[in-house]
Amino acid sequence: MQVLSVASEAYPLIKTGGLADVVGALPGALAAEGVAVRVMLPGYPAVMAALGPAETVWATQNLAGAPAQILSGHARGLDLLVLDAPHLFARVGNPYSGPDGRDWADNAVRFAALARAGAYVAQGAVSGWRPDVVHVHDWQAALLPAYLHYDGAQQRPSTVITVHNLAFQGQFAAGLLPAIGLPPWSFSLDGVEYYGDVGFLKAGLRFADRITTVSPTYASEICQPDAGMGLDGLLRERAAVVSGILNGIDETVWDPASDHLLAAPYDAAHLAARAGNRAALQAHLGLAPDPDAPLFAVISRLTWQKGMDLLPEVLPAILESGGQLAVLGAGDPPIEAAVRFAVANHPGRVGCLIGYNEGLAHVIQAGADALLVPSRFEPCGLTQLCALRYGCVPVVARTGGLADTVIDASPMALSAGVATGVQFAPATADMLAAAIRRTVRLYRHRDAWQTLQRNGMAADVSWRDPARQYAALFRELTG
């Protein structure tokens, strides 16, 4: 089984969020299921630099107005097809925005070109290789099934679109249609038209053979108006082909027993070693070296989706129970400012690093007592999975993948010995504050707390089961 996976980011080559983790980890997990995956990525500077010796497998004089080629090679364990189109991707900044933080003005053309080239590959443009299934991720690759449809190809592979976050829809002005090479008749309700614009994600949801998202709960939520964000009607219409497959985490990257970034690696039998990591974390963020303070942490984009605007409101609940708060994140400037303000007002009790820091994320998982994930919606969420594996107790809003991956420490779950964390709903400041107080009460019961930690560490958060489910889906499609 040969799969072409098309996406705008893949860990460890280029990452802005969970999408990259998934695209980077799935090929390894699927290999164990007999599925070979080639990942197609834009040729950003970071990708071009990481690519080893590469072969040109396709070239054109005109892709979105300039020459482009596809390079086949390997990097960091991934079998890659890289779309080398310097006029679109050889830029300083992140995949979507420039150094000034603003989206690139030509994002529609850039990612349409990725999908366009991917559709050529799907139809055999790379000599000697034809994928059985094309797996596209999020709006950036979502036009691919639409190109296949309007190309009218007789022989085309099956297509799967995975939605990592329905909030990012890739909606652009209708006038762009000629520039992205779609025919005028594609601009219809049954085509790529979306509220008077061109909808990239909408097109993918319309034309892909199967639609998956990254948790069963989110799969049902997005078929309803609240979480459907304008696309729920189409998703309901296609409900028969919509399903949810949870993400896993890369257990080699996230392994507390062999994590070289930690002061003291440990396993479930040696949880006491977490104390060393906790002390290192406190020292690093300027928190008081208090061994008894419940240490709450956040590793997150600082956005409304993630409920990060609630942090200032729930700070009293943390501080009044003698706790501390460590924040690692970047995002909306007002939320960043509010976090900095809290640090300045509560020296030694609140610490932060505003920015992106992979190493500190590991130390936080290994040293903090509880991870706060108060998302208003959460397709899957990865940080709570890492927290489970590290014995950092997740405190999560009961939504999307958070609902599917954490078992609340209710009296029943505690007595049955299956609880792995704390859930609350809805994601409001009051409910989060109550969850924090409940977490502190559990924390003060050392035995109950350690049981929570051990249960979490025993949970299967690997890619094994998800990979089996993707492989089964691909096999169903190809007969």
When asked if residue 259 is in the footprint of ligand ADP (CB under 6 A), the reply is: no
Give the shortest CB-60-to-ligand ADP separation in angstroms: 33
Contact range with ligand ADP by CB under 6 A, out of 195-203, 270-278, 280-288, 381-389: 381-389
Options 3, 81, 298, 361; binder of ligand ADP; rule CB under 6 A: 361
When asked if residue 336 is in the footprint of ligand ADP (CB under 6 A), the reply is: no
Contact range with ligand ADP by CB under 6 A, out of 13-21, 115-123, 167-175, 221-229: 13-21
When asked if residue 17 is in the footprint of ligand ADP (CB under 6 A), the reply is: yes
Options 170, 256, 294, 381; binder of ligand ADP; rule CB under 6 A: 381
Contact range with ligand ADP by CB under 6 A, out of 109-117, 315-323, 353-361, 456-464: 353-361
Which pair of tokens denotes residue 437? 């107080």
When asked if residue 358 is in the footprint of ligand ADP (CB under 6 A), the reply is: yes
When asked if residue 58 is in the footprint of ligand ADP (CB under 6 A), the reply is: no
Please count the residues of this chain forming the interface with ligand ADP, following the rule CB under 6 A. 18
When asked if residue 320 is in the footprint of ligand ADP (CB under 6 A), the reply is: no
When asked if residue 383 is in the footprint of ligand ADP (CB under 6 A), the reply is: yes
Q: How far apart are alpha carbons 216 and 276 in whole angstroms?
A: 37
Give the shortest CB-218-to-ligand ADP separation in angstroms: 11
Give the shortest CB-322-to-ligand ADP separation in angstroms: 26
When asked if residue 204 is in the footprint of ligand ADP (CB under 6 A), the reply is: no
Give the shortest CB-286-to-ligand ADP separation in angstroms: 17
Give the shortest CB-393-to-ligand ADP separation in angstroms: 16
Q: Comparing C-alpha atoms, which of 222, 223, 220, 182 is closest to residue 203?
A: 182
Find the binding residues for ligand ADP in span 271-310 (CB under 6 A). 299-301
Closest CB to ligand ADP among residues 168, 187: 168
Give the shortest CB-96-to-ligand ADP separation in angstroms: 13
Contact range with ligand ADP by CB under 6 A, out of 43-51, 93-101, 325-333, 470-478: 325-333
When asked if residue 351 is in the footprint of ligand ADP (CB under 6 A), the reply is: no
Site residues (vs ligand ADP, CB under 6 A)? 17-18, 21, 165, 299-301, 328-330, 356-358, 361, 380-383
